[in-house]
């Protein structure tokens, strides 16, 4: 939140012009200690005709008048103007304080126009230092400009101190954005309490007149409350922003705050509206909307959102996003569609986790050979939190193919796994029983066949 040079430039120009410009952009208010204070008239020295003649050509260079015929003013020549003005400033030893103020004021403005801000500050401070031999309005404008210039060069403490001096002059009018500027400056010093106090004051004053504060004011107020982790108040401000400055960016911002304050219905409604309008633009927005749909038990809609984001190129086709889509498709029973998505995600992954998930999906689809292949890839890639997971899936697939010996070997590798061990033991017990049952059945068939053959032989022998 840095004050821009354009603001400072406007205020510098304002200090060089008349106080009428200052008043036009201001509101009536009184600082503490200024109530009922009557300013005593200042007796000012006169400007000599000799000095006026000297500075007239300088004024024509740094602030040329419009051509009465064309209505166009020549381009200022600040470099040459300053070269001439500097000689006058350095040799005006007999000038009275008011004459010095006029020279310093021009010197400050010219240096600022030449982007020499430090020199501009120096000369403006010289002007203010000539109080009370300058008009009160010039003193006030000069102090205000110095404060702004110090803020522009990140001398925030110096800016605050100068603004306090300005306040003590009891100005009759205060710029409309004064408290907003104070909030920015205090924020830069790390004084967040005063930053919030002043932005709240700025917003309140405008709203009290049934007017709408500038969007930048609301944004600063919201940012400060987010920084304070007062998300409830930040959300209230964000709602005002959406009402008065309805853009996709602001709606998305409010949706994020709804999420932070637990208003998932509000967040879903806003993100859904943005999606319909085609205004979702970031990975996080698509993922958040998909997550909200899944929380609302609508995985099919979640998958549609993710497919749209990936298709339009607004979501990166990386492992994480493909995994989200694959999971959403699986949850919505779109098993066949989820398989190629998860295969792509697994191939991009640095570990075997997604190949293990893919093995489980193949099991759901009754693709048992593919389930075994994916489980083997998971084992080879490694990096699994549950090392027994792919063995459990592989054993399950091998069981379905009635390869009980292989299934027992796989499941024995999974029985000690913290997460899958319980299920692996249950399945292993079943497989071992099933293997024994089939072996017993096969033996019974052999025995029956042998008995039948023996009976046939006996009958033939009797014959």
Q: Please give the C-alpha separations between residue 77 and each of 64, 85, 143, 268, 337, in angstroms, as whole numbers.
A: 9, 12, 26, 59, 71
Task: Examine residue 129 and state whether it is found in any structural domain, yes or no.
Answer: yes
Same domain, 316 and 383: no
Q: Please give the C-alpha separations between residue 43 and each of 40, 46, 98, 421, 453, in angstroms, as whole numbers.
A: 10, 10, 10, 96, 140
Same domain, 308 and 410: no
Position 203 scores a pLDDT of 97
Phi-psi region of 27 (alpha: psi -120 to 50; beta: other; left: phi over 0): beta
Q: Please give the C-alpha separations between residue 16 and each of 9, 19, 110, in angstroms, as whole numbers.
A: 11, 9, 10
Task: Examine residue 5 and state whether it is found in any structural domain, yes or no.
Answer: yes
CATH of the domain at 119: 1.25.40.10
Same domain, 328 and 363: no
DSSP H helical segments within 91-177, as ranges?
97-113, 117-128, 136-152, 156-168
Same domain, 259 and 115: no
Angle between helices 78-90 and 97-113 (to 10 degrees): 150
* Domain-ending residue, one of 175, 194, 222: 175
Same domain, 396 and 305: no
Same domain, 334 and 366: no
Task: Examine residue 88 and state whether it is found in any structural domain, yes or no.
Answer: yes
Task: Examine residue 442 and state whether it is found in any structural domain, yes or no.
Answer: no
Look up residue 35 and give its two tokens. Answer: 């109530």
If residue 237 lies in a helix (H) or strand (E), which one and from where to where? helix 231-244
* Domain-ending residue, one of 150, 175, 200: 175
Same domain, 362 and 408: yes
In contact, 404 and 434? CB cutoff 8 Å: yes
Domain range for 99: 1-28+53-63+75-175
Q: Minimal CA–CA distance to 109: which of 5, 18, 20, 16? A: 16
Task: Examine residue 261 and state whether it is found in any structural domain, yes or no.
Answer: yes
* Domain-ending residue, one of 320, 348, 376: 348
28 — phi, psi (to 5°)?
A: -75, 130
Look up residue 415 and give its two tokens. Answer: 């029985």
Look up residue 290 and give its two tokens. Answer: 């998909």
Same domain, 167 and 273: no
Same domain, 433 and 295: no
Same domain, 170 and 293: no
Same domain, 371 and 423: yes
Length of the chain: 463
How many domains does the structure of the chain reveal? Answer: 3
pLDDT tens string, the chain, 463 residues long: the values are: 333 333 333 333 434 433 334 444 555 567 888 887 777 888 888 888 989 999 999 999 999 998 888 889 899 999 999 999 999 999 988 899 999 999 999 999 999 999 999 999 999 999 999 999 999 999 999 999 999 999 999 999 999 999 999 999 999 889 989 999 999 999 999 999 999 999 999 999 999 999 999 999 999 999 999 999 999 999 999 999 999 999 999 999 999 999 999 999 999 999 999 998 888 888 889 999 999 999 889 999 999 999 999 999 999 999 999 999 999 999 999 999 999 999 999 999 999 999 999 999 999 999 999 999 999 999 999 999 999 999 999 999 999 999 999 999 999 999 998 899 999 999 999 999 988 888 888 888 888 888 888 888 888 776 5
- Residues 392 and 77: their CA atoms lie apart, in Å, by 83
State pTM to two decimals: 0.71
Same domain, 366 and 331: no
- Residues 393 and 361: their CA atoms lie apart, in Å, by 10
């Amino acid at each position: 939140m840095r004050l821009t040079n354009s603001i400072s430039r406007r205020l510098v120009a304002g200090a060089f012009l008349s106080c009428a410009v200052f008043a036009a952009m201001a509101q009536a208010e009184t600082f503490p200690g200024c109530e009922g204070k009557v300013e005593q008239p200042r007796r000012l020295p006169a400007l000599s005709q000799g000095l006026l003649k000297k500075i007239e050509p300088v004024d024509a260079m740094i602030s040329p008048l419009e051509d009465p015929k064309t209505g166009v003013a020549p381009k200022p020549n600040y470099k040459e103007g300053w070269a001439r003005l500097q000689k006058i400033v350095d040799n005006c030893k007999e000038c009275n304080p008011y004459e010095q103020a006029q020279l310093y004021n021009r010197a400050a403005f010219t240096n600022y126009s030449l982007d020499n801000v430090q020199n501009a500050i120096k000369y403006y401070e010289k002007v203010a230092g000539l109080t009370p031999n300058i008009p009160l309005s010039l003193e006030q404008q000069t102090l205000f400009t110095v404060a702004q210039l110090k803020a522009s060069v990140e001398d925030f403490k110096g800016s605050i101190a100068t603004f306090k001096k300005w306040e003590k002059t009891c100005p009759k009018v205060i710029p409309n954005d004064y408290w907003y500027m104070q909030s920015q400056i205090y924020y830069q010093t790390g004084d967040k309490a005063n930053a919030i106090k002043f932005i709240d004051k700025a917003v309140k004053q405008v709203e009290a007149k049934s007017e709408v504060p500038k969007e930048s004011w609301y944004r600063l107020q919201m940012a400060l409350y987010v920084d304070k982790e007062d998300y409830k108040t930040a959300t209230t401000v964000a709602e005002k922003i959406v009402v008065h400055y309805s853009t996709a960016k602001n709606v998305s911002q409010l949706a994020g705050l709804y999420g932070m304050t637990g208003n998932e219905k509000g967040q879903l409604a806003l993100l859904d509206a943005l999606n319909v309008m085609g205004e979702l633009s970031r990975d996080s927005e698509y993922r958040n909307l998909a997550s909200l749909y899944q929380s609302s038990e609508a995985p099919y809609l979640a998958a549609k959102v993710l497919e749209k984001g990936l298709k339009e190129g607004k979501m990166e086709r990386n492992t994480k996003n493909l995994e989200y889509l694959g999971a959403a498709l699986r949850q919505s029973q779109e098993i066949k569609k989820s398989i190629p998505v998860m295969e792509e995600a697994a191939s991009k992954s640095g570990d075997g986790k997604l190949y293990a998930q893919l093995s489980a999906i193949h099991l759901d689809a009754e693709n048992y050979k593919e389930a075994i292949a994916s489980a083997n890839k998971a084992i080879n890639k490694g990096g699994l939190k549950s090392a027994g997971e792919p063995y459990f899936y592989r054993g399950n697939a091998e069981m379905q193919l009635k390869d009980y010996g292989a299934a027992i070997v796989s499941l024995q590798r999974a029985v000690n796994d913290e997460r899958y061990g319980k299920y692996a033991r249950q399945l292993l017990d079943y497989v071992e029983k099933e293997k024994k049952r089939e072996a017993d059945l096969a033996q019974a068939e052999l025995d029956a066949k042998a008995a039948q053959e023996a009976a046939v032989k006996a009958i033939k022998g009797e014959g």
